[in-house]
Chains A and B, each alone.
Chain A
Amino acid sequence: MTMTQQEPAMSNLYQPTVMRIASARDEAPEIRTFRLEFTDDQYKQDFYKKYRVGMFGLYGLPGAGESTFCVASPPTRTDYIECTFRRTGRVTAALQDREAGQTITFRGPYGNSFPIDQWKGRNIIFIAGGIALPPVRSVIWNVLDRRSEFGKVTIVYGARTVADLVYKDELAQWEAMDDVELITTVDPGGETADWKGKIGFVPTVVKDSAPSPEDCVAVVCGPPIMIKFTLPVLTDLGFAAGDIFTTLENRMKCGIGKCGRCNVGSLYVCKDGPVFTVEQVGKMPQGDL
């Protein structure tokens, strides 16, 4: 190649954009939410062209690395994105030590999304446990921001203790809404003297509240143990496996179907997921989950 030839402009899939932390909020012990603003308008425009609720991103801090979390804010909020994550390892610890005004990196959005346009006119029950409310919360707000398009909205959210509940302000907001039924619960022993919600495990609370499966989809996210015991409850209530949606949280590095880490059978969770119906999950090799 001679010097006079124009080399094709090369982009870099792995090049993150820089996001400014507009605000940081501690949700619960070890759990923190960042509201992030794009510093690159082009990236922002591209992001919102692609972003559908349920997609995820790679959040990072140079020198520490990148971690995979959902985008916890819905596509109906176009001034910022939010992420909520637990301090678990080296990267999440480094990220949590960042403060409002500072920057972190982001790549995304990646993955598939919740098919909420197919849910128009239907009732929706959201069931979440612990730190798994963030991926559900983006769907909840997406639905509530387009409230008239959907039927009855029920939210069941549980955590081990009252202190472990995330988005406490928003729980109060949902509680106050006439057209949302909110049920909160904490594990036995996790209640405080002034706790007004239920006391019990999520599967039991779902069973007792007995939501009607009629024209209803369920979104279920939580620790594996919660999912394991909640699904049979929904099945007994008459929910079809194709109407129950969840997200898989496999470890990822690239997020774009290359690095092989998130594979479950022949699936790339990062590309074919992270959103799957329980029917789809049931057909996967269970030993890879």
Chain B
Amino acid sequence: MKTLEATKLADLAAALTAAGYRVIAPCQRGDQVHLECYQAGKTLRADVIPVNSAKDALFPRSEVIGRYRFEGNEFETVPVAPQAGKTVLLAVRPCDAAALAPLDAVFNWDYKDEFYNAHRDATTVVALACTAADDQCFCTSVGGSPDSTANADAVLRPADGGKRFILESLTDKGQAIAAAGQAVLTEGQAQADPPAQVAPAFDSAAVTAWAKDGFDSPLWKELSLACMGCGACAYTCPTCHCFDIQDEATRREGVRLRNWDACGFGLFTKHAGGHNPRHDQASRWRQRVMHKFAYFPERFEMLACTGCGRCGRLCGNGMSIREVCSQIEQAAQAGVK
């Protein structure tokens, strides 16, 4: 089997960079760890779940989808084709890899979104099996597991008490990674460490069942009281994919941008005429939960939550979808509508 010394993750990143990949890996940034483009000198951290999710590499927070030039009162459009360089998501968590399924679904269910697909096709996913979890992790409550290889092209498994990784290739793309990283990999034996224990937080089927008739529940108001509507949960979520389209222009030229948006924002659904279907934060939080646990399963037969726990880690008011779902499950058990 192919192994990699734990201290050589950055060397693997460097080898892949040298082989022409854009390497997105968990990099130390101040006292945080972010999934970002590896560059020589950066410290990689496989022991901390990064603040941001892997979706950033496939669905950038801001992406040019149109260009134009102005000449007086006239304009001309300049064709923009999706462009994506060969990318590897190195040491991303199984919950990040799992999120590719809902993203693939929504960006391809009818019209095929060429921008997303260009990034997706150019991307190789090297997952990192989790041997430790924190108190926000709940992948096991939403159909995942800490050592899942779903959507991964290769997986790094911590081994020998964390001294090294085992690199398992699962697809041709994964094998290309093993080949490109050959110089820093060793052929040998190692004992994979046991996966993290992630205690079940709630029963997602119970949440989905309750949500089916739960639209008008008074519970939403209570559940959403702490929400400030900042959108951090959506931005850090690996599956949230709502976006806005905005133009930015000077007198001579301009771009049309696709920017992340969030259903938690008050303006998200507001009509130009003033009417706003989701006029309060309770209705917006309801949308967030219902979309992930009721609407998305109804439409695409999968949950739009992978249990990464980022929303809970990042929320300035200590809210999390994990906590809310636990409360919904309790309400369902108590027969509260």
Q: Which residues of A contact B (CB under 8 A)?
A: 1, 10-16, 18, 61-67, 88-89, 92, 102-103, 105, 224, 249-251, 253-254, 256-261, 263-266, 271, 285, 287-289
Q: Is the CB of A15 within 8 A of B77?
A: yes
- Distance to closest chain A CB from B266 (angstroms): 12
- Distance to closest chain A CB from B199 (angstroms): 30
Which of B73, B77, B241 lies in contact with A16, CB distance below 8 A?
Answer: B77
Residue numbers in A under 8 Å from B215 (CB-CB): 265, 285, 287
What separation, in Å, do the CA atoms of A220 and B171 have in the docked complex?
54
Q: Is the CB of A260 within 8 A of B242?
A: yes
Stretch at the interface among B24-32, B40-48, B123-131, B291-299: B291-299
Q: Is the CB of B270 within 8 A of A256?
A: no
B263 at the A interface (CB under 8 A) = yes
B172 at the A interface (CB under 8 A) = no
What separation, in Å, do the CA atoms of A257 and B275 have in the docked complex?
22
23 residue pairs of the A-B complex, CB under 8 angstroms, read: A10-B81, A10-B82, A10-B114, A13-B113, A14-B65, A14-B66, A15-B65, A15-B79, A16-B66, A62-B68, A63-B68, A66-B245, A88-B273, A103-B75, A250-B277, A251-B272, A253-B244, A259-B261, A260-B261, A263-B291, A265-B295, A271-B110, A287-B286
Quick one: which of B191-222 are within 8 Å of A by CB? 215-216
Main secondary structure of the interface of B (DSSP, over half): mixed
Q: Which residues of B contact A (CB under 8 A)?
A: 65-66, 68, 70, 73-77, 79-82, 86, 106-107, 109-115, 118, 215-216, 241-247, 249, 254, 256, 258, 261, 263, 268-273, 275, 277-278, 283, 286-287, 290-291, 294-296, 298-299
Known: A62-B77, A88-B273, A266-B298. A287 touches B283 (CB 8 A): yes
What separation, in Å, do the CA atoms of A289 and B114 have in the docked complex?
31
Main secondary structure of the interface of A (DSSP, over half): loop
Most A-side CB within 10 Å, residue of B79, B111, B258, B290: B111
Residue numbers in A under 8 Å from B79 (CB-CB): 12, 15
What separation, in Å, do the CA atoms of A62 and B243 have in the docked complex?
19
A-B contact count (CB 8 A): 135
**Looking across the interface, which residue of chain B has its beta carbon closest to that of A62?**
B68
Known: A62-B70, A251-B269. A18 touches B243 (CB 8 A): no
What separation, in Å, do the CA atoms of A61 and B70 have in the docked complex?
11
- Distance to closest chain A CB from B295 (angstroms): 4
- Distance to closest chain B CB from A106 (angstroms): 11
Q: Is the CB of A251 within 8 A of B243?
A: no
